[in-house]
């Protein structure tokens, strides 16, 4: 029997114990009460198939496939409206009542800066775009076809392992009706009675109506267990381990590596949830968090480091585009395998990309790219690359500061960051090493045009 001593709210499940306890907390629409704890809660589904919803079948099918995991009858993950019927597509936009929703749809499916569907979901295919265009060009006529309402639930495949550790808040967060965006954090401390490795992480989204994205950090210090509002930027003490936005996947670590939980030592996790109550719903609550699988220690311990820079200066009303170079130190003679990246900037960021040059030359290898940075859609990217001494890593960060204040590096919402959190193994053990060293010691120049 695995035993953890816990300071906060961790539910332990032996392999035989029923997992019904997991599902019983779910209150949102579409939660399947039989769902296994190892899955992400299925997203709300649209109306039942083969009803008339006024949309031609081809248009209906494009929306079902690409949009309704968020824009269902009960919109989720911060989506402001359904896209489930003729009426919903010809209704005036709330944000811009001069326009009909279909006009905004046509705009957003082509909008590279704020695309729909939002990343990491794939963009519409050329054929799907053509279907939407053809219908709009014909004047978006109502259809009497009976095909309507199907939806791709967007469910993330369940983990193969059985989660035995549940990371959640001490109490549910009560979402104010008037608040549109809120960043809420809580801490969970874990003290393992035995050496263990975390080998997989899955988000547990309990109230899809208001959860927009979730991040889990490892922290040097404990954080309050009750959810509370926190700066959107988090803290400089926190290292991002995993992030999820609708459409992103669970993280399963390579089979030879895990994040260590050391016997008798406290590991501090911090969860940050971004809530978006676009619809102004009253009395919504949420206890989203993460389900973790642990196992006996594997061959290698995984860890997080940050490429990028801590030297940031974006004067008021200006833009900055910097490329920062980190030479992998000579001491790093044995190769490290990189398996994931979590690029991270704040709200003025416009792009972030990290590239690896083996031996300092050669063709660049992508270590995580977000060409149109959107602070509100952060998620991890799987990778497979090796780094060792002699290699060079370059991170490019770009910002646009439209405010009246000069902006520098920091943890507050108004400050900026350029961290490409990178997950790797085996963990670097040197006393001279710290996770922030690559970013701290990188040399930056203006990105060559």
Of 203 and 308, CB closest to ligand HEC: 203
108 binds ligand HEC (CB under 6 A): yes
CB 145 within 8 A of CB 57: yes
| Secondary structure string (H, E, C) spanning 18-43 | CCHHHHHCCCCCCCCCCCCCCCCCCC
Of 277 and 287, CB closest to ligand HEC: 277
Of 80 and 158, CB closest to ligand HEC: 80
Q: Which of 69, 88, 131, 232 binds ligand HEC (CB under 6 A)?
A: 69
78 binds ligand HEC (CB under 6 A): yes
Among the listed ranges 5-13, 107-115, 157-165, 288-296, the one in contact with ligand HEC (CB under 6 A) is: 107-115
CB 239 within 8 A of CB 339: no
Among the listed ranges 17-25, 93-101, 320-328, 412-420, the one in contact with ligand HEC (CB under 6 A) is: 93-101
Residue 107 CB, shortest distance to ligand HEC, in Å, is: 7
Q: How far is CA 272 from the centre of its chain?
A: 10
CB-count exposure of residue 81 (10 Å: 0-12, 13-18, 19+): middle
Q: Which residues contact 433 (CB under 8 A, 6 or more apart)?
A: none
Site string for ligand HEC, 265-284 (x = CB under 6 A): -------------x------
Cα distances from 25 to residues 56, 205, 286, 332, 377, in angstroms, run 38, 11, 9, 46, 25
180 binds ligand HEC (CB under 6 A): no
Of 67 and 292, CB closest to ligand HEC: 67
Among the listed ranges 1-9, 67-75, 135-143, 411-419, the one in contact with ligand HEC (CB under 6 A) is: 67-75
Residue 331 CB, shortest distance to ligand HEC, in Å, is: 43
Of 53 and 69, CB closest to ligand HEC: 69
Q: Which of 114, 146, 174, 296 binds ligand HEC (CB under 6 A)?
A: 114
Considering only residues 216 through 255, tell me which ones interact with ligand HEC, judged by CB under 6 A: 246-247
66 binds ligand HEC (CB under 6 A): yes
Question: Distance between CA 212 and CA 76 in Å, rounded?
Answer: 8
53 binds ligand HEC (CB under 6 A): no
CB 56 within 8 A of CB 65: no
Of 277 and 320, CB closest to ligand HEC: 277
Question: Distance between CA 31 and CA 168 in Å, rounded?
Answer: 18
Q: Which residues contact 8 (CB under 8 A, 6 or more apart)?
A: 169, 170, 186, 187, 188, 189, 225
Q: What is the pairing mode between strands 300-301 and 257-261?
A: parallel
Cα distances from 160 to residues 22, 89, 285, in angstroms, run 17, 39, 29
Residue 198 CB, shortest distance to ligand HEC, in Å, is: 26
Q: What is the pairing mode between strands 318-327 and 300-301?
A: unpaired
Residue 157 CB, shortest distance to ligand HEC, in Å, is: 17
Q: Which of 35, 116, 165, 385 binds ligand HEC (CB under 6 A)?
A: 116
207 binds ligand HEC (CB under 6 A): no
104 binds ligand HEC (CB under 6 A): yes
117 binds ligand HEC (CB under 6 A): yes
Question: Distance between CA 14 and CA 329 in Å, rounded?
Answer: 44
Question: Distance between CA 355 and CA 337 in Å, rounded?
Answer: 15
Residue 377 CB, shortest distance to ligand HEC, in Å, is: 8
Q: Which of 8, 35, 55, 67 binds ligand HEC (CB under 6 A)?
A: 67
Q: Which of 31, 35, 89, 109 binds ligand HEC (CB under 6 A)?
A: 109
71 binds ligand HEC (CB under 6 A): yes
Q: Which of 84, 118, 320, 378 binds ligand HEC (CB under 6 A)?
A: 118
Considering only residues 122 through 141, tell me which ones interact with ligand HEC, judged by CB under 6 A: 124
Q: Which of 53, 121, 232, 250 binds ligand HEC (CB under 6 A)?
A: 121
CB 441 within 8 A of CB 326: yes
Number of residues that bind ligand HEC (CB under 6 A): 26
Of 236 and 281, CB closest to ligand HEC: 281
Chain contacts with ligand HEC (rule: CB under 6 A): 66-67, 69-71, 77-80, 83, 93-95, 104-105, 108-109, 114, 116-118, 121, 124, 246-247, 278
């Amino acid at each position: 029997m695995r035993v953890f001593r816990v300071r906060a709210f961790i539910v332990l499940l032996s392999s035989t114990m029923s997992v019904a306890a997991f599902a019983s907390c779910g209150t949102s629409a579409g939660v399947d009460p039989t769902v296994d704890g190892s899955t992400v809660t299925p997203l709300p589904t649209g109306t039942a198939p083969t009803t008339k919803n006024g949309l031609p079948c081809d248009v209906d099918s494009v929306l079902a496939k690409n949009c309704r995991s968020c824009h269902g009858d009960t919109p989720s993950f911060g989506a402001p409206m359904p896209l489930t019927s003729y009426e919903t597509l010809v209704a005036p936009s709330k944000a811009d009542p001069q326009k009909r929703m279909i006009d905004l749809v046509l705009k957003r499916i082509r909008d590279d800066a704020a695309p729909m569907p939002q990343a990491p979901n794939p963009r519409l295919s050329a054929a799907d775009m053509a279907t939407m265009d053809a219908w709009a060009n014909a004047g978006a006529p109502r259809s009497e076809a009976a095909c309507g309402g199907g939806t791709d639930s967007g469910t993330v495949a369940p983990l193969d392992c059985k989660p035995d550790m549940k990371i959640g808040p001490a109490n549910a967060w009560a979402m104010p009706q008037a608040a549109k965006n809120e960043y809420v954090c809580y801490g969970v401390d874990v003290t393992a009675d035995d050496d263990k490795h975390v080998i997989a992480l899955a988000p547990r989204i309990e109230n899809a109506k208001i959860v927009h994205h979730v991040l889990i950090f490892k922290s040097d210090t404990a954080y309050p267990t009750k959810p509370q509002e926190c700066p959107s930027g988090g803290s400089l003490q926190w290292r991002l381990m995993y992030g999820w936005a609708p459409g992103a996947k669970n993280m399963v670590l390579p089979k030879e590596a895990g994040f260590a939980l050391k016997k008798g030592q406290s590991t501090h996790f911090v969860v940050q949830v971004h809530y978006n109550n676009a619809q102004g719903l009253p009395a919504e609550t949420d206890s989203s968090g993460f389900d973790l699988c642990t196992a006996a220690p594997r061959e290698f311990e995984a860890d997080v480091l940050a490429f990028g820079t801590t030297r940031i200066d974006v004067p008021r009303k200006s833009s900055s585009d910097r490329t920062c170079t980190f030479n992998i130190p000579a001491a790093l003679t044995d190769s490290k395998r990189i398996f994931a990246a979590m690029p991270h900037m704040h709200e003025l960021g416009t792009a972030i990309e990290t590239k690896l040059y083996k031996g300092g030359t050669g063709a660049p290898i992508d270590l995580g790219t977000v060409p149109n940075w959107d602070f509100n859609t952060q998620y991890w990217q799987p990778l497979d690359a090796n780094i060792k001494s002699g290699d060079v890593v370059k991170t490019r960060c770009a910002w646009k500061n439209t405010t009246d204040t000069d902006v520098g590096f920091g943890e507050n919402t108004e400050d900026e960051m350029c961290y490409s959190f990178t997950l790797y193994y085996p963990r670097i053990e040197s006393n001279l090493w710290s996770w922030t060293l690559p970013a701290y010691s990188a040399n930056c120049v203006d990105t060559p045009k």
